[in-house]
Amino acid sequence: MKVHLMYRDQDFDLQREPPLNEAALLQDLELDTLFGAMALGGKSLYDVARSAVLGSLQDIDAIRYRQEILKDCLTNATIVRELYQIAVATMDSKERRWLRIFGFSNSSAGILRNSVEMVQLFLDILRRLRRMADEHAGAFSSEGFTTFFAMIKQELDDDYLATVQRHLTELSFRDGVLISAALGTGNEGADYLLAKHKQNGQSWVQRVLTPGPTTYTFRIHPRDFPGARALSDLKERGLNLVANALAQSSDHINSFFGLLRTELAFYIGCLNLHDKLVQLGGSVAFPAPAPAGEREHSFTGLYDVCLALTMGQSVVGNDVAADDRDMVLITGANQGGKSTFLRSIGVAQLMMQAGMFVPAVSLRANLCTGLYTHYRRQEDATMNSGKLDEELGRMSDIVDAIGPDAMVLFNESFAATNEREGAEIAWQITHALLERRIKLFFVTHLYAFARGLYDRGMENIIFLRAERKDDGERTFRLIEGAPLATSHGVDLYQQVFGT
């Protein structure tokens, strides 16, 4: 039985190896804010959100599969949340019980007895799941949910539920235990198995009592405690396999619920985020992904979701048409929204490739094979040579990991040395990356670098500038325009000091 609400043909793996650039992405894009809004304080919701958002899909079809399911969730939010609650409650009661059971007992007989109890509990929940499928399947139209409910109805039919109940009853052994064995090494008993009787009808105890083959019987003395221990040890060996089989079955059912909980958690997170953004008056849209090999990046009203969440209000969005461009170079005033813009690009890319809606009025962009951020770090400002060394070290890590059609967001990179050297380094690096078909967003103060690119007249680069009105006021919007020689630190100074 498969859940398959995250992928059409595979389970969602929460334990996947995190990408090497995960720490940088978290820090540079302030993703914790996003995950926090999705999780609303729930640890497992947080983990799933984080894993899903960072585990970018590479396939348009897979993205659409999730988008459809998410649309179903937005329409049937109450039912989806109830389904999630069933999975959560199952796991919780299982954990309480498991602790009680396996905290004390590790004998086969104990494991078997407790597994019977455990599976009985699961059986009741499976019945409930069946009823939900019977009642609500019709309200869902996505491929993922339709398949899921059909599977529940088919796999958990009445016959099956009855078979499970019968096994649970048989495994309580009211009439003693029949064990088959063989002679192993050293003539010690081996291959102990709980035997299933060949014939139906007559119980094996009845059969044993009827005269038949030679049987040798002995009885241990009631006060022979070592003998009693030896006997229970034998029984242990006989029950070992069946206890293991039932305990594992119980784990399997449990992991089914675990998977259901995990996969639904992603959509619950999306519902939470959606509610919040709508409440703040922000727009959301399902993006149109394009193949990684193409160059599309056009959007209207794209805003930084993390900034909106932090400020608790809707924020200024940007409109950009950068189709057929390999590089977006952003220059302009300090505090003019450049970093916010860069972050909105990165977050929207991750959300799109997770199958989510994006914080924009509309967005169309090509997929990337990997998203990397290279931000100037503020710490250790005293040791400039060490800092450039550190920056280039991180750049080298990115180069180790990156491939064609990936995307890199640079923020004030290579500014830890003088402008001429920084510009040369930046040019060398970006030029090489562009040659390798890597898409770049580059926020920079290195005028020599920006101007150099502009003067080369490269058509695959679009130049954006933080908008500044004639009176010096910033709009926090970006407009297309050539790099200007000075930043606007003077303005900022005046604004802060009011001179």
Binding to other proteins (CB under 8 A) within 234-263 occurs at 234-238, 240-249, 251-253, 255-256, 259
Measured from the CB of residue 240, what is the shortest distance to other proteins in angstroms? 5
97 is written with which tokens?
């019980």
What does each C-alpha distance from 357 to 260, 269, 296, 314, 361 come to in angstroms?
22, 12, 18, 16, 10
Which of helix, strand or coil describes residue 290?
Answer: strand
Which CB sits closer to other proteins, 256 or 267? 256
Q: Are 108 and 243 in contact (CB under 8 A)?
A: yes
20 is written with which tokens?
């090497």
Which CB sits closer to other proteins, 64 or 97? 97
Residue from the set 81, 97, 136, 197 that interacts with other proteins by CB under 8 A = 197
484 is written with which tokens?
């200007």
Residue from the set 155, 389, 473, 480 that interacts with other proteins by CB under 8 A = 155
Question: With CB under 8 A as the contact rule, which of the stretches 53-61, 77-85, 227-235, 410-418 interacts with other proteins?
Answer: 227-235
Does position 99 interact with other proteins (CB under 8 A)? The reply is no
Does position 118 interact with other proteins (CB under 8 A)? The reply is no
Sequence letter at residue 264: L
Q: Which residues contact 334 (CB under 8 A, 6 or more apart)?
A: 487, 488, 489, 492
Residues between 10 and 69 that touch other proteins (CB under 8 A): 11
Which CB sits closer to other proteins, 249 or 310? 249
Which CB sits closer to other proteins, 179 or 321? 179
Q: Which residues contact 342 (CB under 8 A, 6 or more apart)?
A: 330, 409, 411, 441, 443
Residue from the set 230, 311, 432, 490 that interacts with other proteins by CB under 8 A = 230
Which CB sits closer to other proteins, 204 or 447? 204
Residue from the set 20, 231, 278, 432 that interacts with other proteins by CB under 8 A = 231
Which CB sits closer to other proteins, 106 or 279? 106
The number of residues making up the chain comes to 499
Beta bridge partners of 329: 442, 463
Residue from the set 139, 190, 383, 482 that interacts with other proteins by CB under 8 A = 190
Residue from the set 117, 124, 134, 175 that interacts with other proteins by CB under 8 A = 175
Q: How many residues form the binding site for other proteins (CB under 8 A)?
A: 74
Which CB sits closer to other proteins, 2 or 81? 2
- Over the window 397 to 436, marking each residue x when it contacts other proteins by CB under 8 A and - when it does not, the resulting string is ----------------------------------------
Helices (H), 281-313: 305-311
DSSP structure class, residue 475: E
Q: Which residue has the tokens 């297309």?
A: 480
Which CB sits closer to other proteins, 185 or 499? 185
Does position 386 interact with other proteins (CB under 8 A)? The reply is no
Does position 205 interact with other proteins (CB under 8 A)? The reply is yes
Which CB sits closer to other proteins, 78 or 214? 214
Which uninterrupted H or E stretch holds 462? strand 461-468
Does position 74 interact with other proteins (CB under 8 A)? The reply is no
Which CB sits closer to other proteins, 23 or 220? 220
Does position 278 interact with other proteins (CB under 8 A)? The reply is no
Which CB sits closer to other proteins, 218 or 497? 218
69 is written with which tokens?
């399911």
Spatial distance between the Cα atoms of 99 and 121, rounded to a whole number of angstroms: 15
Does position 8 interact with other proteins (CB under 8 A)? The reply is no
Torsion, Cα of 287, 291, 294, 297 (10° steps) = 10
Number of Cα atoms under 13 Å in the Cβ half of residue 296: 15
- E-state strands within 390-431: 407-411
DSSP structure class, residue 482: P
Does position 123 interact with other proteins (CB under 8 A)? The reply is no
Residue from the set 91, 137, 177, 280 that interacts with other proteins by CB under 8 A = 177
Measured from the CB of residue 210, what is the shortest distance to other proteins in angstroms? 12
Does position 379 interact with other proteins (CB under 8 A)? The reply is no
Does position 196 interact with other proteins (CB under 8 A)? The reply is yes
Burial class from Cβ neighbours inside 10 Å (0-12, 13-18, 19+) for residue 318 reads buried
Q: Which residues contact 498 (CB under 8 A, 6 or more apart)?
A: none
- E-state strands within 261-317: 288-290, 297-302
CA angle 42, 43, 45 (to 5 degrees): 65
